[in-house]
Chains A and B, each alone.
Chain A
């Protein structure tokens, strides 16, 4: 699978060599059971890759007293048990770990997510078209034409922040958020796209709907996506949407994916 050159960005355009984590990040206090390892202050695929690499490194290293880590766009929250270790001890250990120099990698696997755009499935499509000065078909083509990277999962169980949305679709969140967004809603806001995995309040623009399920607490891991995965949206019609919905309900739909470079 070939990936756009823009995918292979680097922090500040500088070449990186193996460096200690404490030379690349700062530690921020988060009470007596967690601290943040912060690699930057903006949404950037290269910074996000450092976060996920650190999470993977710590999952291998399993420092004594570490409970779990929570990756986000530009920092890693490290939860620990203060009865088994201390922030000072863990930060010394983590700070001395080295991250190998590498350009951000292309996604190892790319999920193909079927989406019925517009109408009742995407009630904000017309508004998005009007606000961006594009036709509805152009909005769909732009949204479905991009390759997205999973930056973070959070906010809701299984909600993935997918970026980057094409600049032409960049809109602020809705001024009045909806009280109830149905699960499966495909939404956009700012430079991100997302899929609501469960019913929830939400302020993003709803442009489509997918019948797929993204969170199942009975499975472990409970979510379809993993960090670093890629996502592509595939427009489908009403009939295909209904057929897929039925297959998902019967547990006989397997999500299509493209394998990326090893």
Chain B
């Protein structure tokens, strides 16, 4: 019998996600999947999984759970956080970006995320919920997929697949770090002709702030409103993840993985796929700007991103022993600042 997770506290929004449900958008079924697909790939690589296996997507802060029915190997990627593993009287703290072997009966608590609003917790063997339409991704709006089509709740039990937990735990020696300024590259279109020239120029020249209206469907942006040449309404057409639609208010909405398949607002630009993992982790209050690129430049950026992911996966190496703490994470997380001092002095 393979291990299961008994959820003690779910965190703000923890869902089962993989790389998404493709092939059914013609029926109105959104893609969903991890907001940060790079984090999913790297977390899976850390625990020895295939790239597309399902893990838990965490928003803002992690869940607490008990590992029952067997041991589990897990890894957090996409953000920094403190991971506490408690067995009996002994508690150990670990950092993100490394595999951790958790014995049967141990409790795991993932703290507040630092550096990104979302992260992926992967388990060797994957989270073994039944696939729906070819994917284990949770569709929150359609209420299917993942665990009962919803975010996790206390008391849930999640089965894990059979994983290869042989060999030493791996770590990523130099994890990607979030930079202060956020620039998202975007291809103008498809409805550039719905906007005035001034609006098109302003869109790429100004900064926007992520508002509090932000979820897996999309993020409303605050900034100067954009002017239309011909109005915000179009005859509904297909939407790609990363599309920036502009309703009548003139304030853009950046559409993310849970977006509707079609929509009736003009779209001024589309964030390129290489930058979508970054976009997915943005939190309210963050200042961003958009940089115009061509389709060919976007495709080239995606190839470069893929090569970067391959390079990071090739760099995985056995963990140097002993529980290690990412100091940057702890310095930024007030909740556990007391712990930093204790560890730094040791």
A interface, CB within 8 angstroms of B:
28-36, 38, 41-43, 55, 67-77, 79, 82-83, 86-88, 152-159, 161, 197-198, 200, 215, 217-218, 220-223, 227
Contact = CB atoms under 8 A, between A and B. Distances in A.
Interface stretch (B18-26, B59-67, B88-96): B18-26
A155 B28 contact: yes
B29 A70 contact: no
Nearest to A34: B240
Nearest to B274: A32
Contact of B260 (A69, A71, A73, A154): A154
Contacts of A41: 235
Contacts of A55: 26
B142 interface: yes
Interface in B294-332: 295-296, 298-299, 301-303, 306
Interface stretch (B76-84, B114-122, B265-273): B265-273
A96 B176 CA distance: 43
A113 B171 CA distance: 58
Nearest to A41: B235
Contact of A217 (B25, B142, B273, B296): B142
A36 B267 CA distance: 12
Nearest to A33: B273
B268 to A, nearest CB: 12
A198 B260 CA distance: 14
Which of B28, B262, B270: most chain A Cβ within 10 A? Answer: B28
Contacts of A156: 28, 141-142, 260
Contact of B237 (A75, A153, A158, A200): A75
Contact of A31 (B27, B144, B262, B270): B270
Chain B: interface secondary structure? mixed
A79 B25 contact: yes
A131 B189 CA distance: 38
A157 B262 contact: no
B142 A198 contact: yes
A196 B126 CA distance: 34
B34 to A, nearest CB: 16
Contacts of B262: 70, 72, 152, 154-155
9 contacts: A68-B22, A71-B238, A72-B237, A73-B237, A75-B237, A88-B296, A153-B28, A155-B236, A155-B260
Contacts of A31: 186-187, 240, 242-243, 270-273, 295, 298
A152 to B, nearest CB: 6
A30 B260 contact: no
Interface string B131-160: 011000001011111000000000000000
A68 B28 CA distance: 13
B270 A29 contact: yes
Nearest to A159: B28
Contact of B295 (A67, A87, A155, A222): A87
Given A36-B238, A41-B235, A77-B240, A70 B22 contact: no
Nearest to A28: B190
B48 interface: no
A154 B187 contact: no
Interface in B178-221: 186-191
Contacts of A153: 26-28
| Chain A CB within 10 A, most for which of B27, B242, B299 | B27
B238 A75 contact: yes
